[in-house]
A and B are shown apart, each in its own frame.
Chain A
């Protein structure tokens, strides 16, 4: 019995390893190939849910589950984030005490640029997220930074996403930049690594477990995950940022969670958004 089990594991590993060689991505800085990872993730979902369009993955679980989709479509007729987008626009256009505003900090006055985040900042040697630059904009203009998870920062981010709807994510890892590649790899490793007392990885629920019930909940697919954030989540009863969700998920594995906007969470966002390259911005979204 034990031998059979070992053989089964052995065979599945062999089949896995053979494919590693074919796809050409690995788990070290020398072998990792983001583009191969992205294609592999896409084909994983295509073979699992052959009836779902790739472009539909920006709609999360609703791309793969027809029942919850109809409920969600009803909800989206009067989107719960509508007032937040309006409030975000107001906040975005309210000048700081020094007379400047968010528009002065961003390319194109901050309009239609969500798809460029997060990006690798070579000078600072780190991944920069939109929320991070919203707060940097404030601090550079003598304003206090906003709290990361919800409230004003989520609203401003939601408005900026709203103005970018339909734009295609195109996250770049500069050719030959080992540091940028290392940040990507760190995010990738975090996504697939089991952690916490419950020994859960992001991928346990959002890759293997996507569209399979955990009690009455369906975990959404990882592909397209960051496209619709910030999100008005029914469970929260309000709008929240991607890092708020990261922290909650991390904690749900019974880990002491990382801080929002910590290096690793930013690297995770870098990896996840790179995986979603080719999909469009459709934030803010509404989710269960």
Chain B
């Protein structure tokens, strides 16, 4: 139930922010893809450094900040995207890999992971 509420909430946010109108089904797909990227060792592997309040998050690391209050921390979702794309822009010695700049993830995967973490 909680999951349903969050995804509906995310759908609402998406409808507000996304340029193209998205149906609930595709939003769910995007979020599921984002979660797979977040957890996947050979994909984003975000979980290796960032805690997230998802029951499927197993043994998260703590090198980076936890994924909480994302919407408050990043009122402009584009800036969150930019942070994932290249965190070394604001901190040249950060341990966080530049996931977009170094084409570790595709642009679509980054969009998906932004939607996934923006729920938290």
On whether A and B touch (CB less than 8 Å), the answer reads yes
Which A residues fall within an 8 A CB radius of B?
Answer: 5, 9, 194, 197-201, 204-205, 208-209, 212-217
Whether A197 lies near B63 (C-beta < 8 A) is no
Docked pose: A199 CA to B91 CA in angstroms: 12
Q: Can you name the residue of chain A whose Cβ is closest to the Cβ of B41?
A: A215
Known: A9-B90, A208-B93. A214 touches B102 (CB 8 A): no
Known: A5-B90, A9-B91, A197-B102. A214 touches B48 (CB 8 A): yes
B95 at the interface (CB under 8 A from A): yes
Docked pose: A195 CA to B88 CA in angstroms: 13
Interface residues on B, range: 10 to 19
Residues of A within 8 A of B47 (CB): 215
Q: Name 21 interchain pairs, CB-CB below 8 A, sorted by A.
A: A5-B90, A9-B91, A197-B97, A197-B103, A197-B104, A198-B97, A199-B88, A199-B102, A205-B95, A208-B95, A209-B95, A212-B63, A213-B63, A214-B48, A215-B47, A215-B59, A215-B60, A215-B61, A216-B59, A216-B61, A217-B61
Docked pose: A9 CA to B90 CA in angstroms: 8
Residues of A within 8 A of B88 (CB): 194, 199
Q: Can you name the residue of chain B whose Cβ is closest to the Cβ of A5?
A: B90
Q: Can you name the residue of chain B whose Cβ is closest to the Cβ of A204?
A: B95
Docked pose: A217 CA to B93 CA in angstroms: 21
Partner of B63, one of A194, A198, A201, A209: A209
* Min C-beta distance of B38 to chain A, whole Å: 13
Q: Can you name the residue of chain A whose Cβ is closest to the Cβ of B76?
A: A1
Q: In the complex, which residues 42-81 of chain B have their Cβ closer than 8 Å to any Cβ of chain A?
A: 47-49, 59-63
Residues of B within 8 A of A9 (CB): 90-91
Whether B61 lies near A213 (C-beta < 8 A) is yes
Whether A198 lies near B102 (C-beta < 8 A) is yes
Whether A215 lies near B97 (C-beta < 8 A) is no
* Min C-beta distance of A4 to chain B, whole Å: 11
Q: Can you name the residue of chain B whose Cβ is closest to the Cβ of A205?
A: B95
Identify 12 new A-B residue pairs, CB closer than 8 A, beyond the known A214-B49, A215-B60: A197-B104, A198-B104, A199-B97, A199-B102, A200-B95, A200-B97, A201-B93, A208-B93, A212-B63, A214-B48, A215-B61, A216-B61
Known: A209-B63, A213-B62, A215-B47. A199 touches B90 (CB 8 A): no
Whether B90 lies near A212 (C-beta < 8 A) is no
Whether A204 lies near B90 (C-beta < 8 A) is no
Residues of A within 8 A of B60 (CB): 213, 215
Residues of B within 8 A of A194 (CB): 88, 93
Residues of A within 8 A of B63 (CB): 209, 212-214
Docked pose: A211 CA to B107 CA in angstroms: 32
Residues of A within 8 A of B98 (CB): 199
Docked pose: A215 CA to B62 CA in angstroms: 8
Residues of A within 8 A of B104 (CB): 197-198
**Binary CB contact string for chain B from 85 to 115 against chain A (1 if under 8 A, 0 otherwise):** 0001011010101100011100000000000
* Min C-beta distance of B28 to chain A, whole Å: 27
Docked pose: A215 CA to B45 CA in angstroms: 9
For the complex of A and B, 8 pairs with smallest distance between CB atoms: A213-B61, A198-B97, A204-B95, A215-B48, A216-B59, A214-B61, A213-B62, A215-B61
Residues of A within 8 A of B103 (CB): 197
Docked pose: A198 CA to B97 CA in angstroms: 5
Residues of A within 8 A of B95 (CB): 200, 204-205, 208-209
Partner of B62, one of A198, A201, A204, A212: A212
